[in-house]
Amino acid sequence: MLSSLSIKNYALIDNLQVNFNNGLSIITGETGAGKSILLGGLSLILGKRADLSSLKDTTQKCIIEAVFDVSNYNLKTLFETEDLDYETQTIIRREILPSGKSRAFINDSPVKLSSLQALSERLIDIHSQHQTLQLTSDDFQFQVIDALADNHTLLQQYTKELKDYKKLQKELKSLLVFQAEAIKEYDYNAFLLNELIEANLIEGEQQALEEEYETLNNIEGIQEKLSESYKLLDDEQIGVLTTLTSVKNNLQNISGFSTKYEDLFNRVNSSLIDLNDVFSEIDALQEGLEADPNRLEVVDSKLKTLHNLMQKHLTTEVSELIKIKNELEDKVTTTEHLDDDINKKQAEIETQKTQLKSISKQISENRSKAIPVLKKQLELILKSLGMPNAQFKIEVALVDQFFSNGQDELTFLFSANKGGSFNALKKAASGGELSRIMLAIKSVLSKYVQLPTIMFDEIDTGVSGEISNKMGDIMLQMSKTMQVFSITHLPQIAAKGDAHFKVYKEDVNEVTQTNLVKLNHDERIVEIAQMLGGLEMSSSAIAHAKELLTNN
């Protein structure tokens, strides 16, 4: 509910502050008095873009502030989504600076216009005779039917399941694209992998193979040097082992005389032990050395294979080749198992599709049950509004396609005249008829859902006194469960309001200003009398005005 509205420095408004109550509020005023300015200010609260032309005084900023009671609107989730502090008395403020910049605030938190629009569209609905295109849209027509069908919970569930369904479809598409690319590379990757597998790669083997190759390739020279070394160590006359043994024996004989001699003995003895080990190893190496041209060829071939693979894969280590082999194995294995992954994903999609169809069917069945109720109520209301032959033809049919709100295709046709053909609303109804249809729909909706504050802007233009009286009754009935504003030129409607506001112009210091004032009972009599008979009020006009107010 709109509790209060404050407008400063906007168009012809210098400073306006007004409070509103629930129920039906009437706004009247002469043509050109500034009712459109009031609506323009409200539209800024709804998130409309602003410019410098909105400023009355271009040296001062324009401030428009509205306070809404949102306690009955179930908006906590929206506040959380928009990261806003939830207050039952929510304040929306727009500021237009002299620089042309515009700022928006919700409960003193700065917000983008998108956030402002998301909230304000749940708070207030401004409807004029020129804004009936909404009636002709499938989305709006479905919203009306779903309200009567009580499909809110089902549609929430459907939206979640549809999101999951589209996610699965996206994942399947990615898998298929990946498979198409992987198949192109599969043969080449498999060939590269096979080369690396056949190479029988062992980490660290390159150095061992190179050493073995050098040994086998130089075996005669190695044998010759080992043999010479063996003889130098083992010669009975001048062999190193024989000589060192003699030195050891000599030092052992004098080691008891001094620790110095004992240390020398120990060092020589240690060297002799090491040299004996060397001698034994040389002997063993000689025994194990044997020319093996076949092995040399095998080692050479393996080294050439490693060298070629390293060149191909731009590496310098066998460990890097092993890493590449593992990566290729993953790619090849993944490609080989993609069919299984795709089949699994397709099965998940089919399961999700079945679930969606089940919910869609339930939504459609509820709609089919609600349509006769909606049709009957609309035609009854329109009959009272001077359209006795108005008829609707509304049908839903399940199709094999998932829309944002189910699987139904909607036929929403209208005929205004008896025996006339049914056509789409925009073709079958005039502007005035569309306004009455919208009023009828909003009236029906108000019985089933909590509607935002609604402001009817002269939708009664061009209707007769009796029909306007019925329109006023409908607005009054709607105002029992919601806040309703009606900007009107008709006294029959003006008299039905719980509160009556007048928009007027006045000149202050030779500057024209627009103001809005709440009328008391006597002032309402005068205003309605002037609406009935003009500025020259007759006694009969005053009497008629009193009668209208008394009967309402």
CA dist 162 and 169 (Å) reads 10
Q: Which one is predicted more confidently, 137 or 370?
A: 370
Among 303, 322, 337, the domain-final residue is 337
Among 304, 337, 370, the domain-final residue is 337
Task: Place 217 in a pLDDT band, splitting at 50, 70 and 90.
Answer: confident
Concatenate the DSSP letters of all residues of 87-141 into one string.
-SEEEEEEEE-TTS-EEEEETTEEE-HHHHHHHHTTTEEEEETT--GGGGSHHHH
Tens-place pLDDT, residues 450-463: 888 999 988 877 77
CA dist 202 and 459 (Å) reads 87
| The pLDDT value given to residue 130 | 59
Select from 377, 425, 378, 414 the least CA-distant residue to 132: 425
- Residues 152-159 have a mean pLDDT of 95
Tens-place pLDDT, residues 222-270: 777 877 777 777 766 667 887 888 888 888 888 888 888 889 889 988 9
- Same-domain check for residues 99 and 248: no
- Same-domain check for residues 529 and 467: no
In a domain, 183, yes or no: yes
| The pLDDT value given to residue 311 | 86
Task: Place 474 in a pLDDT band, splitting at 50, 70 and 90.
Answer: very high
- Same-domain check for residues 469 and 550: no
Task: Place 379 in a pLDDT band, splitting at 50, 70 and 90.
Answer: very high
| The pLDDT value given to residue 127 | 84
| The pLDDT value given to residue 237 | 67
pLDDT > 70: percent of the chain: 98
- Same-domain check for residues 219 and 311: yes
Select from 446, 316, 319, 466 the least CA-distant residue to 388: 466
In a domain, 329, yes or no: yes
In this predicted structure, which of 118-127, 421-430, 470-479 has the lowest mean pLDDT? 421-430
- Same-domain check for residues 64 and 102: yes
- Same-domain check for residues 466 and 533: no
In a domain, 543, yes or no: yes
In a domain, 393, yes or no: no
Among 310, 337, 364, the domain-final residue is 337
Task: Place 367 in a pLDDT band, splitting at 50, 70 and 90.
Answer: very high
- Same-domain check for residues 324 and 212: yes
Select from 179, 242, 144, 47 the least CA-distant residue to 440: 144
CA dist 64 and 103 (Å) reads 11
- Same-domain check for residues 320 and 185: yes
CATH number, position 484: 3.40.50.300
Tens-place pLDDT, residues 126-138: 887 656 667 778 8
| The pLDDT value given to residue 364 | 97
The yes-or-no verdict on residue 335 having pLDDT over 80 is: no
The yes-or-no verdict on residue 163 having pLDDT over 90 is: yes
- Same-domain check for residues 76 and 210: no
Tens-place pLDDT, residues 3-28: 999 999 998 888 999 999 999 999 99
| The pLDDT value given to residue 289 | 73
Q: Which residues contact 87 (CB under 8 A, 6 or more apart)?
A: 70, 107
In a domain, 243, yes or no: yes
Cβ neighbours of 274 (radius 10 Å): 10
**Total domains in the fold of the chain:** 3
CA dist 152 and 219 (Å) reads 90
Most confident of 137-141, 467-471, 520-524: 520-524
In a domain, 249, yes or no: yes
Report the chain's mean pLDDT, rounded to a whole number. 87
Q: Which one is predicted more confidently, 383 or 460?
A: 383
| The pLDDT value given to residue 133 | 63
428, 416 contact by CB (below 8 A)? yes
| The pLDDT value given to residue 131 | 60
- Same-domain check for residues 316 and 214: yes
Select from 162, 125, 27, 25 the least CA-distant residue to 452: 125
CA dist 130 and 385 (Å) reads 19
- Same-domain check for residues 181 and 326: yes
In a domain, 447, yes or no: no
- Residues 279-304 have a mean pLDDT of 78
| The pLDDT value given to residue 400 | 93
The yes-or-no verdict on residue 436 having pLDDT over 90 is: no
Domain residue limits at 548: 525-552
- Same-domain check for residues 23 and 109: yes
In a domain, 80, yes or no: yes
